[in-house]
Structure 1
């Protein structure tokens, strides 16, 4: 199954907004900070700024040309810390979870963007923690890992160089 990462155009932000609502719905199980909006959807308030700020890069994950998820990558000049790249958000629709497409998407990203990475998961999100740990093993990536309390949520933070 050929996976591609395609930069999301500002004209496609409605599609991304819809995917973010699904993503935030999934995350709401693990975070007390995520609530349903009065209109019945989950909103990512900063989404409209993605195309205005250098270093915020949203990508659709496509399988044979169809959108199946997204990655929000933060990079320089947006980042000023020691990390070059942050995978801020990573989402695959349920139909494709557990089929290896997320690992393929991450590998594609690492091929295209090399540097010092920062990835974070809420510890209660066992599926995400397991995904990232298995990916590091599969791709032979050496990581530094620590736990930290962020916005009241116990999180796992990994840093690594590609």
Structure 2
């Protein structure tokens, strides 16, 4: 079983939108700021920006030929001087969690995207915090961590460099 990252094409926006609603549903467990819309979906208003703004890069995570999740990456020129890349969002469908596919996707990302990264997790999102700590430990990544408020939420911010 092979994990591959595939850039999301604009014509695949609806697939990403549907997956993003599932991601926000999962995230709603850790924040009071997310609510379901009138249409029964969790909405992300900024999704169109990923095809309109250079430096916002969506990728599907594929297991063989099946989409099992996504990574939304923030890069230059959106990012300024301090960082080259940021993992904005990472999502794996529940059916595939716990099988190492998220780690494999991150490893694939790090093979092709080198530079100084940041990752932000909600402090309350203990599964995400644990996931990233396992990534750093398993890949022997030295990171710095601080707490800060981002969008009115207490968050952990880790920074590290991939060479």
Which TM-score bucket, shorter chain as reference? Answer: over 0.9
Q: Residue 141 of structure 1 aligns with which residue?
A: 141
- Indicate how the Cα distance of structure 1 residues 136 and 13 shifts in structure 2: closer, same or farther if over 3 A, else same: same
Q: CA deviation at 1:37?
A: 0.6
- Given the alignment of the two structures, is residue 82 of structure 1 paired with residue 98 of structure 2, yes or no? no
- Regions of 4+ moved over 4 Å: none
Q: Residue 52 of structure 1 aligns with which residue?
A: 52
Q: Residue 124 of structure 1 aligns with which residue?
A: 124
Separation (CA, whole Å) in 1 of partners of 2:160 and 2:74: 15
- Given the alignment of the two structures, is residue 27 of structure 1 paired with residue 27 of structure 2, yes or no? yes
Q: Residue 7 of structure 2 aligns with which residue?
A: 7
Instruction: Give 1 or 2: higher helix fraction.
Output: 2
Alpha-carbon displacement from aligned partner over 1:71-98 (angstroms, at most 9, x marks no partner): 0001001111401000000000000101
Q: CA deviation at 1:109?
A: 0.2
Q: Residue 39 of structure 1 aligns with which residue?
A: 39
For structure 1, the residue ranges without an aligned partner over 5 or more in a row are none
For structure 2, the residue ranges without an aligned partner over 5 or more in a row are none
Q: CA deviation at 1:145?
A: 0.4
Q: CA deviation at 1:151?
A: 2.4
Q: CA deviation at 1:34?
A: 1.1
Separation (CA, whole Å) in 2 of partners of 1:82 and 1:27: 27
- Given the alignment of the two structures, is residue 92 of structure 1 paired with residue 92 of structure 2, yes or no? yes
Length-normalised TM-score, structure 2: 0.97
Length-normalised TM-score, structure 1: 0.98
RMSD: 0.7
